[in-house]
Amino acid sequence: MMSLVQDILHSLRHLPDFGSINFEVKIDHLLELKADKVLVLSVFQNLIHNAINYCNQDRPHVKIKVEKESNGIVLQVIDNGLGIQEAIRDRVFEMFYRGHPDSTGSGLGLFIVKNALEKMKGTINFESEVGKGTTFTVHIPNARNEHI
């Protein structure tokens, strides 16, 4: 799991402001997750990408936390960035929805995350305060399917 996060951060290193972000990565030892690697990667990658994209310009801080839970893992991606307005809370998971006019993305990231989690029978929630930041919390259960 640590190397998954390191690989993602490495792949995102050319994003604007990447170099000024203070990253904090906390990952439980002894983590084990039986799940589809591609789906897990897309969840981590899109949430981390957003945390970097929508982070605070002054003192950006991004925290990535992964903990073991009884039948899987909990991932939290925490930023101190722009936040998500109450009015658009229900829309951010929609296909092609972009909440910030200056977003250069295609509005697919959270749609992909939501779909990946549906496939894995996981869940996603977030808490956000405009101007303060956003915390996404994801639960991913171990897959029952032995082939994964």
Ligand X SMILES: Nc1ncnc2c1ncn2[C@@H]1O[C@H](COP(=O)(O)OP(=O)(O)OP(=O)(O)O)[C@@H](O)[C@H]1O
Q: Distance (Å, rounded) from C-alpha 56 to C-alpha 41?
A: 24
Confirm if 129 and 80 have CB atoms less than 8 A apart: no
Min separation Cβ 118 and ligand X, Å: 15
Min separation Cβ 14 and ligand X, Å: 14
50 in contact with Mg ion (CB under 5 A): yes
Burial of 60 (0-12, 13-18, 19+ CB in 10 A): buried
Gap between the terminal Cα atoms of the chain = 16
Q: Distance (Å, rounded) from C-alpha 62 to C-alpha 115?
A: 24
Out of Mg ion, ligand X, none, what residue 98 binds, judged by CB under 5 to 8 A for its kind, is ligand X
Interacting residue with ligand X among 84, 120, 124, 138 (CB under 6 A): 84
Confirm if 52 and 81 have CB atoms less than 8 A apart: no
The dihedral built from the CA positions of residue 123, 114, 66 and 132, taken in this order, carries a sign that is: negative
110 in contact with ligand X (CB under 6 A): yes
Interacting residue with ligand X among 8, 21, 75, 82 (CB under 6 A): 82
Identify residues 34-63 at the interface with ligand X (CB under 6 A): 46, 50-51, 53-54
Min separation Cβ 146 and ligand X, Å: 33
Q: CB-wise, 72 or 109, nearer to ligand X?
A: 109
Interface ranges with ligand X (CB under 6 A): 46, 50-51, 53-54, 79, 81-84, 92, 97-100, 103, 105-111, 134
